[in-house]
């Protein structure tokens, strides 16, 4: 039985056992991942959030394993079949699979062919055959004919005996482990289109006749095939070479060439085809799906992190536009805190084309509300609206910025939006969301279900609980890494702060509305249900810009304020001077302040924070300038090099917005001049790029792009280790011979 979780987890993660114990103790005591990573470095040995979350999840898995172990021991004991040897074997099992294999013979089951054969009294015959001694099989089987029990012939008796033997083979834990290994290492996944559905299944054309080793299948291909199977367009099969499995089992069960052995051989084939293969295929499907889910969730998490940490424009007076044609453009004016000041509609585009009045409206609003930037959603009529706004003679200092509006419609119809803007319709709410995204993407995007933001890969096909846990971890990490201004933050943003949650976040906003802005972190303790433990977890991530104590607007935790005071006192200065003067900080000897609870890692963090209290870790805002001559796909020409911004990264490439209402796909082979394995290692969501158009398919709305320095040059010369595996299925050669345009089009179709 696994008793020392720390020992197991430490070995798996390659860290010290004491680090795992420290993390486990802190989590059990109510500590959150961001708090432990930031403020308990001495205890954990400066482990980061990724490792801390991995420890949390793995320990939970091991606890679940032990719960199942206890249930299995209890079940077998109640059957009166638990022996010391079996107990030892169960306690030694280190995985859920191994446990279930051991338990299988004792697991209560519905009637099986073997159980019915036993009821007919055929188990002694099975035992005799298993010995594989020379005997007259027909004569032996004759002894078990019993018409009352349904055994009417010798073959009936032998068939029943073989069913019993087949079940024994299937329930042999060692055999199952060996066959499982063969499935995983040598299994082939085969996909075929269901006859008669070729036309309806066109988007799965790649997989009409596809096969490859299950050990090498890419996560996005596996998820695509499974989706095709779920939609009843494809049939899938996973299996190794049948003869290899028969040979493996025969080595264990066949003892000699006689009549009894022939019966065992028949039972082996039946055991595999009827019992083992379906069972192993199900297991491999589950395991490979789990791995594919993990890969897809990792892609989603990485993309979401980059999007949430996009550079904010900051506190500016914003005019936001949700563009449109027939229904017009919905515009709103927001103050520096994102408060809605004004809204109306203008009609500068077709069919109304009321440009004069629309121009006058925007000019007047810019003057009245001292607008500093105009945010234009990148949806329908975006480039037309941008061109119009830039043509009306606004002051040059007013930025005109295209904003990714993905998910804005989800926010508009949400309970959050209805609560905040009960008196306004969906269009106004959407425009507000666009404007606020420009000011602070993180603060606005936390109001939307991450799955609706559009930076995932097969997010609807993966384990939804695992996806939610992974995305929540990323949102929490990003929010706490940036910090939250407690006097302006929404309750949605506050709810992600370490230790708070929705209920306390709502209490903070209610208290703030009723009593005015918080003037210190200590004042937060007056909020209902804000106990000492919660305050400890949250305080370091909350900012109060107007506080008298400058440390209240920093990442220095209140528990360390006395250390900062001691630092200032030791150099005859106050805290303001310590923050302002680099030379004063440089004169400090940090070793002097080391104690039982505070070590150099935390002291270095404090000093780093004093250099720029409350600094935003996000990059500075940079505007993307799309080509003014290119507005639609019809304007694109092969060979054009255009500015773009990455909107999504997948396992097979990246999608890039080049300002034509349709993202282009950069296949993995066109991301760099050299061979790359993982696009995410080379390109990120929100990254600005220069992309060359290599193919345009207007009818199918597909654009193929390249980031290579010479996309139309010779094929790259890969190293030997980078060449295609010669053992790969032949149809991969066929795929390689397809045109790049078709390949990219197919990949895009799969992604959708």
How many residues are present in the chain?
Answer: 752
Same-domain pairing of 368 and 274? no
581 lies in a domain?
Answer: no
480 lies in a domain?
Answer: no
SS3 of 685-707: the string is CCCEEEEEEEEEECCCCEEEEEC
Q: Which of 407, 439, 471 is the C-terminal boundary of a domain?
A: 439
579 lies in a domain?
Answer: no
Asked if residues 307 and 390 have their Cβ atoms less than 8 Å apart, the reply is no
Beta bridge partners of 697: 702
Same-domain pairing of 257 and 327? no
Same-domain pairing of 281 and 328? no
Cα separations (Å) of 233 from 191, 213, 226, 463, 752? 10, 21, 10, 22, 16
pTM: 0.82
Same-domain pairing of 287 and 182? yes
pLDDT along the chain (752 residues), means of 10: 80 94 94 95 94 94 93 94 94 91 90 94 95 91 93 95 96 94 95 94 92 93 94 95 94 91 96 95 93 91 91 94 94 94 95 95 96 94 93 94 86 88 91 94 89 77 88 93 94 95 95 95 95 95 92 95 93 90 90 89 92 86 89 93 93 92 93 90 92 93 94 57 39 40 44 36
Same-domain pairing of 169 and 297? yes
Cα angle 276, 282, 285 (rounded to 5 degrees) comes to: 135
Q: Crossing angle of helices 5-13/49-78, nearest 10°? A: 130
Kindly report the CATH number assigned to the domain that includes residue 240: 1.10.3500.10
pLDDT of residue 407: 79
Domain range spanning residue 657?
A: 633-751
Cα separations (Å) of 495 from 169, 415, 457, 508, 702? 54, 15, 27, 10, 40
For residue 220, with 0-12 CB atoms within 10 Å meaning exposed, 13-18 middle and 19 or more buried, which class applies? Answer: buried
**Cα–Cα distance for residue pair 301/289, rounded to 1 Å:** 18
Beta bridge partners of 688: 645
Quick one: tokens of 605?
Answer: 């963090």
pLDDT of residue 3: 66
Asked if residues 680 and 662 have their Cβ atoms less than 8 Å apart, the reply is no
pLDDT of residue 733: 39
For residue 320, with 0-12 CB atoms within 10 Å meaning exposed, 13-18 middle and 19 or more buried, which class applies? Answer: buried
378 lies in a domain?
Answer: yes
Give the total number of structural domains in the chain: 4
Same-domain pairing of 386 and 424? yes
pLDDT in tens, 322-331: 999 999 999 9
In the numeric block, the tokens 């021991």 are attached to: 73
Same-domain pairing of 222 and 285? yes
Query: Torsion angle of alpha carbons 633, 635, 639, 641, nearest 10°?
Result: -90
462 lies in a domain?
Answer: no
Same-domain pairing of 200 and 340? no
683 lies in a domain?
Answer: yes
Asked if residues 663 and 648 have their Cβ atoms less than 8 Å apart, the reply is yes
In the numeric block, the tokens 């003014």 are attached to: 628
Same-domain pairing of 130 and 259? yes
Q: Which of 419, 439, 459 is the C-terminal boundary of a domain?
A: 439
pLDDT in tens, 427-469: 899 999 999 999 999 999 999 888 777 777 777 888 888 888 8
In 293-446 the beta strands, taken as DSSP E runs, fall at 318-322, 329-334, 340-346, 373-377, 399-403
Quick one: tokens of 506?
Answer: 């709502």
How crowded is the C-beta side of 100, counted as CA atoms within 13 Å? 9
In the numeric block, the tokens 């499995």 are attached to: 245
**307 sits in which H/E element:** helix 277-308
Contacts of 439 (CB under 8 A, 6+ apart): 312, 313, 314, 315, 316, 318, 334, 338
Same-domain pairing of 648 and 700? yes
**Cα–Cα distance for residue pair 2/590, rounded to 1 Å:** 42
505 lies in a domain?
Answer: no
Same-domain pairing of 174 and 238? yes
Kindly report the CATH number assigned to the domain that includes residue 742: 2.40.50.140
99 lies in a domain?
Answer: no
Helical H runs in 187-218?
none
SS3 13: helix
Q: Which of 274, 301, 328 is the C-terminal boundary of a domain?
A: 301
Kindly report the CATH number assigned to the domain that includes residue 367: 3.30.420.140
Same-domain pairing of 167 and 238? yes
**Cα–Cα distance for residue pair 605/346, rounded to 1 Å:** 51
Kindly report the CATH number assigned to the domain that includes residue 64: 1.10.10.650
């Amino acid at each position: 039985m696994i008793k020392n979780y720390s020992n197991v987890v430490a070995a798996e993660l390659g860290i010290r056992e004491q680090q795992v114990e420290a993390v486990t103790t802190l989590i059990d005591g109510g500590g959150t991942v961001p708090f432990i990573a930031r403020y308990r470095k001495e205890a954990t040995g400066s482990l980061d959030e990724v490792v801390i979350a991995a420890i949390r999840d793995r320990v939970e898995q091991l606890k679940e394993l032990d719960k199942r172990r206890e249930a299995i021991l209890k079940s077998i004991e109640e059957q009166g079949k638990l022996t010391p040897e079996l107990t030892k074997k169960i306690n030694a099992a280190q995985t859920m699979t191994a446990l279930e294999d051991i338990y299988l013979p004792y697991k209560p089951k519905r009637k099986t062919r073997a159980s019915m054969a036993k009821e007919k009294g055929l188990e002694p015959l099975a035992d005799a055959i298993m010995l594989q001694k020379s005997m007259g099989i027909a004569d032996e089987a004759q002894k078990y004919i019993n018409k009352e029990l349904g055994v009417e012939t010798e073959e009936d008796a032998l068939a029943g005996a073989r069913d019993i033997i087949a079940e024994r083979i299937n329930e042999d834990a060692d055999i199952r482990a060996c066959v499982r290994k063969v499935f995983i290492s040598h299994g082939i996944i085969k996909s075929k289109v269901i006859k008669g559905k070729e036309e309806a299944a066109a988007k799965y054309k790649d997989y009409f006749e596809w096969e490859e080793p299950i050990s090498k299948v890419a996560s996005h291909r596996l998820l695509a095939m499974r989706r095709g199977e779920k939609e009843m367009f494809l049939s899938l099969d996973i299996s190794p070479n049948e003869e290899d499995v028969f040979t493996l089992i025969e080595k264990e069960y066949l003892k000699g060439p006689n009549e009894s052995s022939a019966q065992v051989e028949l039972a082996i084939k039946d055991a595999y085809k009827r019992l083992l293969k379906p069972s192993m295929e199900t297991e491999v499907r589950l395991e490979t799906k789990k791995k594919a889910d993990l890969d897809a969730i990792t892609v989603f998490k990485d993309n979401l992190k980059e999007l949430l940490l996009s550079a904010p424009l900051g506190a500016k007076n914003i005019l936001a536009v949700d563009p449109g044609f027939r229904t017009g453009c919905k515009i709103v004016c927001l103050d520096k805190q994102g408060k809605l000041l004004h809204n109306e509609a203008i009609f500068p585009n077709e069919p109304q084309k009321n440009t004069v009045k629309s121009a006058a409206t925007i000019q007047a609003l810019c003057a009245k509300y001292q607008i500093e930037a105009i945010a234009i959603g990148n949806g329908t009529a975006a480039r037309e609206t941008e061109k119009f706004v830039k043509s009306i003679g606004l002051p040059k200092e007013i930025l005109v910025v295209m904003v990714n509006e993905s998910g804005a419609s989800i926010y508009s119809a949400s309970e959050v939006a209805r609560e905040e803007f009960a008196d306004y319709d969906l269009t106004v709410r959407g425009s507000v969301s666009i404007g606020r995204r420009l000011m602070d993407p993180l603060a606005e995007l936390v109001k939307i279900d991450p799955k609706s933001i559009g930076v995932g890969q097969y997010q609807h096909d993966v384990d939804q609980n695992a996806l939610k846990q992974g995305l929540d971890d990323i949102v929490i990490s990003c929010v706490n890494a940036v910090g939250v201004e407690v006097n302006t933050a929404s309750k949605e943003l506050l709810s992600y702060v370490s230790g708070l949650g929705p209920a306390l976040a709502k209490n903070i906003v209610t208290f703030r509305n009723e009593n005015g802005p918080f003037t210190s972190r200590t004042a937060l303790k007056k909020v209902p249900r804000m106990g000492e433990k919660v305050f400890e977890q949250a305080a370091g991530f909350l900012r109060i810009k107007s506080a008298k104590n400058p440390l209240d607007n920093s990442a220095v935790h209140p528990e360390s304020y006395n250390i900062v005071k001691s630092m200032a006192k030791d150099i005859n200065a106050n805290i303001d001077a310590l923050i302002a003067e680099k030379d004063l900080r440089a004169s400090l000897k940090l070793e002097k302040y080391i104690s039982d609870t505070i070590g150099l890692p935390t002291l270095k963090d404090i000093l780093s924070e004093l250099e720029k209290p409350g600094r935003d870790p996000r990059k500075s805002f940079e505007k993307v300038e799309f080509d003014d001559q290119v507005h639609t796909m019809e304007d694109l020409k092969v060979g054009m090099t255009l500015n773009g911004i990455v909107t999504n990264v997948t396992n097979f490439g990246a999608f890039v917005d080049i300002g034509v209402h349709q993202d282009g796909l950069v296949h993995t082979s066109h991301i760099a001049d050299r061979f790359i394995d993982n696009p995410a290692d080379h390109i990120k969501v929100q990254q600005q790029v220069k992309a060359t158009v290599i193919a345009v398919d207007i009818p199918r709305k597909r654009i193929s792009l390249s980031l290579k320095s010479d996309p139309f040059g010779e094929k790259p010369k890969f190293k030997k280790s980078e060449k295609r595996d010669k053992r790969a299925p032949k149809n991969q050669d066929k795929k390689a011979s397809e045109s790049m345009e078709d390949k990219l089009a197919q990949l895009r179709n799969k992604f959708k």
